[in-house]
Amino acid sequence: MHATSFIVGSAAARALAQLQQLERREDFSEIRTVDLLNAAAHSCDRAHKALRSDAAEAQACLIHGASRLLAAAGRIDLDPSAMNVRDLRSA
């Protein structure tokens, strides 16, 4: 994949670095997209709880969550016919 170069802040750079580490894992292809989303949600919840008491922990959690969201976004096929997720409300 070709990426356009641009300058990002340190938090964004750390999220991208974590994303690259995640994508290099041998088992990356085995991690389900929904699990990446769940990990991101968990990280955001932890960040929310830590925000008032530990800014460094909150930032670390948000960076972790951002890397998981980016990984999930990279896997989503924008062709609706390729989606394998069914809306349970319609069942």
Q: Read off the pLDDT of residues 36-57 as tens digits, 9 standing for 90 and up.
A: 999 999 999 999 999 999 999 9
Separation between Cα atoms, residue 59 and residue 48, nearest integer Å: 10
Separation between Cα atoms, residue 31 and residue 24, nearest integer Å: 12
Per the listing, tokens 């016919």 go with 81
pTM: 0.76
| Residue 77, pLDDT score | 76
In a domain, 68, yes or no: yes
> What is the residue range of 61's domain?
32-75
Per the listing, tokens 């670095």 go with 17
Number of domains in the chain: 1
Q: Which residues of the chain have pLDDT under 50?
A: none
Residues of the chain with pLDDT > 90, as a percent, come to: 71
